[in-house]
Chain A
Amino acid sequence: MKLGNSLLQLALWGVAALPTVTAAAWGFTDATVSVHTKGAGVGTGSKDVIPDKKALSKPVALGSADTLKVTLTAQEGSSAKQANQVFLLLQDPETGLDISYPFSVKNNGKSRLELAMKDLPLQFLAPSKPLEARFLIGSFGTSAAYNGVAFPLTVARDPNEPVPTVEVSRYGKLPEIHHIFKTDAQSPPVAITLVFVAMALACLPVLGGVWLFLGVNVKQLPTALQSAPLSHTIFLGSLLAIEGVFFLYYTHWNLFQMLPAVAAAGTVAFVSGSRALGEVQGRRLAGLR
């Protein structure tokens, strides 16, 4: 038995090695491809004959209302015969995706296939290049199977209709995200700021000028310092000190450093201020103001 097997194998190798002796190869004849539009009259669509074992050079267009009909007769060698596999293989040359449609085959090898656009998978609805349609004809046994290009197939979709898409989840890298920050607060140009600063500071000399025009003076300062020197100096000094404390608070002190200092300076200002104002009252009573 074993010997018989190996003899058979040897014989088969011999067969494989000598192509001239090879058993018949699969092929086809009488192949046609036609496109019928639904609703259009008989005999309107296109019909092309595919030469045996060759490809149709002109592309076949399949519209959304069209039906593609392919007929052929499978042959083993030169005799028509039913093959186990008579498929129309569609392949996207860009992505390499493939799908096969089996023909319905009669005993005498006559095969036919009808294909509408709804039979195509979504991925084939908007190919960048024409799909490649191939005939696959093969069966069990030693005959070589046939795999050849039959015709290019273009999918003629209504351009206004969106191409249906399918969302599938696959693990992979995701697009990068960079947070968009809110824009920082903007200052006006420094030149404009400086104009307004100058205007704000100019108020002081304007005030002084108006006062001088109205005859404001400090003529009673020596009198006041003479009659109550301590309380006037301390009062003015404490007012300055309060402003100074506020300046320190603005630049680097905190509230708890500022409050006792202001309280102390404020008390001093209150006590010395009442004395100083007493002196001012004295001048008023004396008719000096």
Chain B
Amino acid sequence: MRWCLSLLSFCFLAVAHALSSSGNRLLVVLEDADDKGLYSTFWSDLEARGYDLDFQSPKSSDLSLFKYGEKAYDHLLILPPRSKGLGPALSPKNIVDFVNDDGNVLLGLSGKSTTPSAISSLLIELDFHMSSDRSSVVVDHFNYDTISAPEKHDVLIVPRPGQLRPDTKDFFGGEGVLAFPTASPHTLGDDNNLVAPIVRAPATAYSYNPKESAGSVEEVAATGSQLDIVSAMQGRNSARFTLLGSVESLQDQWFSATVKTPSGKKTQTANREFAQQLTAWTFKETGVLKVGKVEHSLATDVELKEPNPAMYRVKNEIVYSIELSEYDQDRFVPFEVPTNDALQLEFTMLSPFHRLDLEPLGRTANSTIYGTRFTVPDQHGIFSFRVNYKRPFFSNIEEKEEVTVRHFAHDEYPRSWKITGGWVWIAGLWSVIGGFLAFVVVWLYSAPKATVDSKKTQ
């Protein structure tokens, strides 16, 4: 019954939201309506993918992210404002509240104007750090576009990003190069596993404030690949926040520009594909995981007569399986764990007693079933099956199911005659019993010795 309901609700969702797994209401915050035309291809691409775009100026009085306490939009796209801030409706607190309420945000910055301090304080809350002057531009004298920026070197040409780490899925890869005109750089917090870089600057790049007239750069906060141009933050609630350092890279002119680096050949930019990948990830069209059926049972219970019992005994053999799907553009597909990575099951009481890699056991039309088999530890108590799969760019999975583990009942131990060491005691017992019976017979019926008889007769 529950399955039918969830299937039904899934169908409804699929009808209501053509594409994103979390809604299609997209608010675009654009200060200058004239700028809208510069991004026409980007808007039409988004609309073609089923988004319902609502363009608002941050100054608009009826702009609000929430209505009756609920989110008024599912996603938020902010283009850098010209004025000093984004206004009261888009204060850092409101945007953080929006993210906390599962809203996704794509924030564009531009090195052309100083970033308002309101935005930089929002970014600090999410562990993105900007330089203190907030108006730096990434400059690279080795990887710039010689056609459009022969003098200023501020149109950065970088290859499409690859895998972040050998064990992550590549959501942003592909052929071609990306152009980032007047990119505003940022750095990421050191010890934060919620943030992940998407595009880093090349090793030869540095951040430069065009307003400074000093002949040579002598003070740098970060250089090279420590400067990030595009980064992502995914909260514990799986809400996504993407920071794009160069909003100009979304403009029509850069979607199909011809660029040339000082050492390379003329190539076409792949900005359009990258913008599609970036918005798809941010607005939850990709990298969204869903848990289906979770089952555990005794390994001997092959026909699953008793699935998910509430109690196991120590040293029972258990089989566990979990069904996972991944949302890909417009539908759920079987989830494949990236190579070098592993989906892990923990059997924990306070700390894990077992942490096992789950193996793919089977595949349905839109899910993969992962499972394993293990022996319950020889420790009784309240345990839980935990699948805690948190990886960069994948939405978080945290499945937890509690079970009781009891010790052996009195009649589940091996009987004493099965223990060879106990045979001595068993033999001793029966020889005492035999001796007792013999003694009773002897005591009852033994006649005194003849010598005693002769004494008595005397």
Q: Which of B3-11, B248-256, B362-370, B445-453 contacts A (4 or more CB under 8 A)?
A: B445-453
State the Cβ distance, B406 to closest chain A Cβ, in Å.
17
**From B263, which residue of chain A is reached at the shortest CB distance?**
A144
Is A4 among interface residues, defined by CB-CB distance under 8 A?
Answer: no
Of the candidates A12, A171, A190, the one whose C-beta lies within 8 Å of that of B146 is: A12
With the chains together, A98 CA to B224 CA distance in Å?
Answer: 7
Q: Contact: B421 with A218, CB < 8 Å?
A: no
**From B148, which residue of chain A is reached at the shortest CB distance?**
A9
Is A18 among interface residues, defined by CB-CB distance under 8 A?
Answer: no
State the Cβ distance, B26 to closest chain A Cβ, in Å.
28
Q: Contact: A178 with B354, CB < 8 Å?
A: yes
A-contacting residues, B134-167, CB 8 Å? 139, 141-142, 146-147, 150-153, 165, 167
Interface bin, chain A? 35 or more
Is B262 among interface residues, defined by CB-CB distance under 8 A?
Answer: yes
| Contact A200-B428, Cβ < 8 Å, known A85-B141, A144-B262 | yes
Find the residue from B141, B421, B427 having the highest chain A CB count within 10 A. Answer: B141
Q: Contact: B150 with A217, CB < 8 Å?
A: no
Q: Which of B68-76, B170-178, B431-439 contacts A (4 or more CB under 8 A)?
A: B431-439
Q: Contact: B341 with A193, CB < 8 Å?
A: no
A-contacting residues, B348-382, CB 8 Å? 352-357, 375, 377-378
Q: Contact: B341 with A224, CB < 8 Å?
A: no
Q: Contact: B193 with A170, CB < 8 Å?
A: yes
Is A207 among interface residues, defined by CB-CB distance under 8 A?
Answer: yes
With the chains together, A236 CA to B444 CA distance in Å?
Answer: 10
What A residues does B152 contact at CB under 8 A? 140
B-contacting residues, A207-224, CB 8 Å? 207-208, 211, 215-221, 224
**From B422, which residue of chain A is reached at the shortest CB distance?**
A187
Is A79 among interface residues, defined by CB-CB distance under 8 A?
Answer: no
Q: Contact: A197 with B427, CB < 8 Å?
A: yes
With the chains together, A211 CA to B435 CA distance in Å?
Answer: 11
Is B391 among interface residues, defined by CB-CB distance under 8 A?
Answer: yes
What A residues does B430 contact at CB under 8 A? 201
Q: Contact: A145 with B262, CB < 8 Å?
A: yes
What B residues does A144 contact at CB under 8 A? 262
Interface bin, chain B? 35 or more
What A residues does B440 contact at CB under 8 A? 236, 239
Q: Contact: B215 with A85, CB < 8 Å?
A: no
Q: Contact: B446 with A200, CB < 8 Å?
A: no
| Contact A147-B142, Cβ < 8 Å, known A239-B440, A276-B444 | yes
Q: Contact: A193 with B438, CB < 8 Å?
A: no
State the Cβ distance, A128 to closest chain B Cβ, in Å.
18
What B residues does A170 contact at CB under 8 A? 193
Is B56 among interface residues, defined by CB-CB distance under 8 A?
Answer: no
A-contacting residues, B22-69, CB 8 Å? none
Q: Contact: B435 with A207, CB < 8 Å?
A: yes
Q: Contact: A98 with B434, CB < 8 Å?
A: no
Q: Contact: B216 with A82, CB < 8 Å?
A: yes
Is A169 among interface residues, defined by CB-CB distance under 8 A?
Answer: yes
Q: Which of B107-115, B203-211, B276-284, B327-335 contacts A (4 or more CB under 8 A)?
A: B203-211
Q: Contact: A196 with B447, CB < 8 Å?
A: no
Q: Contact: B444 with A280, CB < 8 Å?
A: yes
Is B409 among interface residues, defined by CB-CB distance under 8 A?
Answer: no
| Contact A220-B445, Cβ < 8 Å, known A9-B147, A145-B262, A177-B355 | yes
Is A78 among interface residues, defined by CB-CB distance under 8 A?
Answer: no
What A residues does B192 contact at CB under 8 A? 169
Residue positions of A touching B, CB distance < 8 A: 9, 12-13, 16, 82-87, 89, 91, 96-100, 102-105, 107, 111, 136, 138-142, 144-145, 147, 168-179, 181-182, 185-188, 190, 193-194, 196-197, 200-201, 203-204, 207-208, 211, 215-221, 224, 232, 236, 239-240, 243, 276, 280, 287-289
- 8 nearest A-B pairs in the assembled complex, by CB-CB distance: A138-B141, A145-B141, A187-B421, A100-B223, A219-B447, A105-B216, A177-B355, A200-B427
